[in-house]
Structures are given as structure tokens and as C-alpha cells.
Amino acid sequence: MKIRVLTIFPEMFSILSQYGVISRAIKENKVDFVAVNLRDFTTDRHRTTDDYPYGGGSGLVMKVEPFLKAYEKLRDSEGKPHVILTSPQGNVFNNEKALELAKKDNLLFLCGRYEGIDERITSIVDEELSIGDFVLSGGELPAMVMIESILRFVPGVIGDIESVEKDSFFNDLLDYPHYTRPREVDGMKVPEVLLNGNHEEIELFRRKESIKRTMLRRPDLFLKHEFDKMDKKALLSLFRELMDGVE
């Protein structure tokens, strides 16, 4: 997969290229990632990327020309990318969208600042995406969040694909609780079922806890989940536990 980002702060993306599993995937050429400096596509000696808004008002607006020039150069040299504008006005990014975008070969993220980008940027944008109903100073952090989420679904980026498939939201259920050594901390013990070596019982316990968490914390996800045979078995076990508690 090829990912490009247009930003006036390309150095911010060093966190992706220098740390964690994403950096390893980049170094092993499983992902072709470059943060492109938008200022390289300006024409004045001050490398200006913003100006005052037409019609007056507070703040500055990012100029559209540098974005268009950078886009044209990338398109001509690397092929037409799928262009994403990070924006609080966009559709909310989620796990389903991450999985969809992971199937694209060429992504380009546009990161705005100040009051946003000149509206004419929409002439090259395929979709606007947001990471939530709040405002940040720029689009760089949302782009990084989306990129890391997307790359988890790209083959070879995460060594254990099973861990990705069992993450929260992958199948509309939240993740089950995890434990590690020591067995007891301040009187809090690891559930015995995780210590008995019975893989079928462990899987049932984890699925049951996953369903319970989803019911309590995200009933919207629970209601749209399609239950398989293991889910139904876990639900029955959970129901029996609740009935025992009533007695």
C-alpha cells in the first residue's frame, strides 16, 4: 500500500516512521509512506500556505494552489490516489471504514490548519473523514489515527492477524478483558478459567465477557451483531449465570 500525506508539518509523522509496528512495516517496504511538505509547492519566497478569508472574518484560510500542485505531481508520478480530507465536518471514521480503506492501493491525506482549506479543494477530494465531534488545531493527528488503524488491516503489517480479528469493533463486539502475570495483585486474582488450560472453556469465557461488555457499554453494537454458534453458547452461559445470581 502507498500512503502520502500533504501537510505543513511533515516532521509530526515521524512518530509513524520511527516507532512501533507501523515503522517496522515501513522499513520492510510493506508500506510505502511519505509525509510531503506542502510548502515545497508554494511559489513565493516566504513559502506561504495561508491567507485572509474573502468576505472578512477571523482566522486564516489555507490556500488551495499548493494542494492542487502537489496532488497533480503525485497523480502524474504515482497514479490517481484516493484522496481523504481530514475534517470535523466529515463522516466519522470507524473500524468498518478502516477495513474498506485498507483495500485501496494508493491513499492521499490532506491536512488542513487554521480555519480550514479553501473550499475549492473539494474538486480533488474523494471523501471527508472525522475522528469525532470535536475540533483540533490541524488535520495531522486525525490522519495519523486513521493511518495506524488502516494499516492494521494491511497484510504483513501486524504479525499476528488473529489479534487484529479479535480486537474491539472487528465483529461488532468489544474486546474481552486481558490478564498477565502475576496471578494476584492486591487481592485481585486472574479468573481461574484462564489458568486451567482448557482452550474451549477459555474461548467461551472470553466470548461471554466480550458480549457482556458490549451489552453494557455499547448496546448499539450489540443490537446489530450477527450471532454465530459460539456467541449463542456464550449468551446461554451468561443467562444461566444471571439466573443463578437471582436465586
Q: Exposed (0-12), middle (13-18) or buried (19+): which is 23, by Cβ within 10 Å?
A: middle
Residue with cell 494542494: 67
The model's confidence at residue 175, banded by pLDDT at 50, 70 and 90, is confident
pLDDT digits (tens, 9 = 90+) for 72-116: 999 999 999 999 999 999 999 999 999 999 999 999 999 999 889
1.10.443.10, 1.10.240.10, 3.40.50.720, 1.10.1270.20: CATH of 184-246: 1.10.1270.20
What are the domain boundaries of the chain? 2-161, 184-246
User: What are the binding residues for S-adenosyl-L-methionine?
Assistant: 112, 131-136
Active site residues: 88, 115, 152, 167
Report the Cα 195 to chain-centroid distance in Å. Answer: 33
Residue 145 has pLDDT above 60, yes or no: yes
Report the Cα–Cα distance between both ends of the chain, in Å, rounded: 56
- What's the sign of the alpha-carbon dihedral 134, 135, 139, 140? negative
The model's confidence at residue 167, banded by pLDDT at 50, 70 and 90, is low
Work out the percent of the chain whose per-residue pLDDT is above 90.
81
Question: Cell numbers of 46, please?
Answer: 516566504
What CATH number should be reported for the domain whose range is 2-161? 3.40.1280.10
* pLDDT at position 107: 98
Residues 6+ positions from 8 with CB-CB distance below 8 Å: 37, 38, 39, 49, 111, 113
- What's the sign of the alpha-carbon dihedral 130, 136, 138, 143? negative
pTM: predicted TM-score of the whole model, two decimal places:
0.84
Residue 163 has pLDDT above 60, yes or no: no
Q: Give me the torsion for CA of 224, 225, 227, 233, rounded to 10°.
A: -110
Distance of alpha carbon 75 from alpha carbon 69, whole angstroms: 10
User: What are the binding residues?
Assistant: 112, 131-136
Q: Mean pLDDT over residues 20-49, rounded?
A: 94
- With contact defined as beta carbons under 8 Å apart, do 58 and 29 qualify? no
- Cβ count near 98 (within 10 Å): 20
Distance of alpha carbon 168 from alpha carbon 91, whole angstroms: 20
Beta bridge partners of 188: 185
- With contact defined as beta carbons under 8 Å apart, do 49 and 39 qualify? yes
